[in-house]
Structure 1
C-alpha cells in the first residue's frame, strides 16, 4: 500500500463496488438479512487484506456459502452460522499447514465451473418468491419451493413486485451491454429501493 497507494485504493474501491450488491443479495438469500451480508463482507475483507499471504489476493462474498448456510440458518438459527464459521476456519488453517492448496491444480476446470453454475441456479431459484412478491412456501427443495411460489403468483399476482423485478433485471442486462464498466446492479437496486420507499409500494421488497 505504501509503494502503490493510488493503484491499491482504486483496486479496493473496484472490489467494494462489485462486492456490495453480492453481499446484500447473499445476506438476504442466507436468511440472515442484508445487514449481515454487508457486515460480513466488510469484516472478512478487512481481515483478509491484513492477514492474507498474497499481494494479489481479492476477497469478497461468495455464492457457494449461501447454499450451505440456508439450511443451517433454518435449523439452528444465526448461532449455527457462527459455529460453522469457526469450524471452517479451523479446517482452513489445518489445510494451510498441510499445504493442501497445491493439489487444487489437479481439479479440472469443468468441475469447478459446473459446481459454480449449480450454485448460481440454486441461488436464482431461491430468489423467485422474492421477485414475485409472494410468501416463501415451506420446504427444503428449492425447485419445489420455486414452483409453488410461481403457482401462488399466477393465482394472486403481485404486479408491483413483478414490475420492480423486471425493471431491475432489464437495467442490469442492458447496462452491462451498454457500459460494462458501470456497476448497473448497484444502480438498479438503489433505484428500486428509492421507488419503493418514495411511493410506499406494498408487497415490494427493496432488496430481494
Structure 2
C-alpha cells in the first residue's frame, strides 16, 4: 500500500471516529434546557440507583459492583450513544445471563464476557442488524420478558432461604432445581425475616407513589 493511500485511509478512519463523539450541535439547546436536563438526570439517577444495587447482588456479585457498572455504562452510552434522549443502564436480562457465569467461572469471567458482548454489539451495528428487531412478533418479546422475570424470581429464592452465603453456590446451576433444593432445606427463622423485608420494600414501592408521584418508592424501599 502506498503512502498516499494509507494516509487517505487514516483520514477516513479519523473522520468516522469523530462521529462517535458529541458534536457542537448536540449542545446548541443546552443553555435553554439545562434545568430540565438536570431534573431529568436526577430523576433517572434516583430510579436507577436501587436497580443497580439490586442487579449487582442478583447477579452474584456485590451492590458496589452493580453501582459502578451502572455509572460506567451510563457515561459511555451518553458519550458514544446515538440519541440525545437515550437512557441507558442495567437490565434484568443481564441477571439471567450473569448468574450461571459467575457460579461456574467466578467473577473474573465477567470482564471477558463484557468484552465479547461489546464485540457482538459492534458487529451487529456494522451489519445493520438492528432493524431485525422490528420484525420480531410482540408476543415473543412479551414471552421473553416474562421468562426472564420468572428465572430472576427463582434465582433469588436460595438467597432468602439461608443465612449462609455459601449455600447458593452449592446448589444446582438450574434455577428451578436450585429453588426447590433451597426450599427443602430452608431456615424458617431467616426465611421469615427475608419475607418481612420483601413485604416492607413492596409496600414502599406501592404506597409511596400514591402519597406523591415524586416520592422515589424504590429508593426508600432499598
Q: Same fold (TM over 0.5)?
A: yes
Match of 1:157 in 2: 189
Change (3 A) 1:132 1:74: closer
Query: Are 1:7 and 2:39 matched, yes or no?
Result: no
* Counterpart contact for 1:21–1:185, Cα < 8 Å: yes
Q: Which runs of 5+ in 1 are unaligned?
A: 190-208
The within-5 A match list for 1:55-70 is 55-70=84-99
Query: Are 1:78 and 2:107 matched, yes or no?
Result: yes
**208, 215, 218: which is aligned to 1:175?**
208
1:38 and 1:165 mapped to 2: Cα distance?
21
CA shift at 1:180, angstroms? 4.4
Match of 2:148 in 1: 119
2:119 and 2:107 mapped to 1: Cα distance?
19
Match of 2:73 in 1: 44
CA shift at 1:186, angstroms? 1.1
- TM-score w.r.t. the length of structure 2 is 0.77
- TM-score w.r.t. the length of structure 1 is 0.82
Change (3 A) 1:180 1:121: farther
CA RMSD of aligned residues (A): 1.9
Which region of structure 1 is more displaced relative to structure 2, 24-33 or 142-151? Answer: 142-151
Corresponding pairs, count: 188
Query: Are 1:185 and 2:218 matched, yes or no?
Result: yes
2:203 and 2:161 mapped to 1: Cα distance?
15
Query: Are 1:145 and 2:178 matched, yes or no?
Result: yes
In terms of Rg, which structure is larger?
2
* Counterpart contact for 2:103–2:173, Cα < 8 Å: no
**85, 89, 93: which is aligned to 2:118?**
89
Q: Which runs of 5+ in 2 are unaligned?
A: 1-26
Change (3 A) 1:173 1:125: farther
Query: Are 1:25 and 2:54 matched, yes or no?
Result: yes
Query: Are 1:103 and 2:135 matched, yes or no?
Result: no
Match of 1:192 in 2: none
1:119 and 1:14 mapped to 2: Cα distance?
26
CA shift at 1:47, angstroms? 0.7
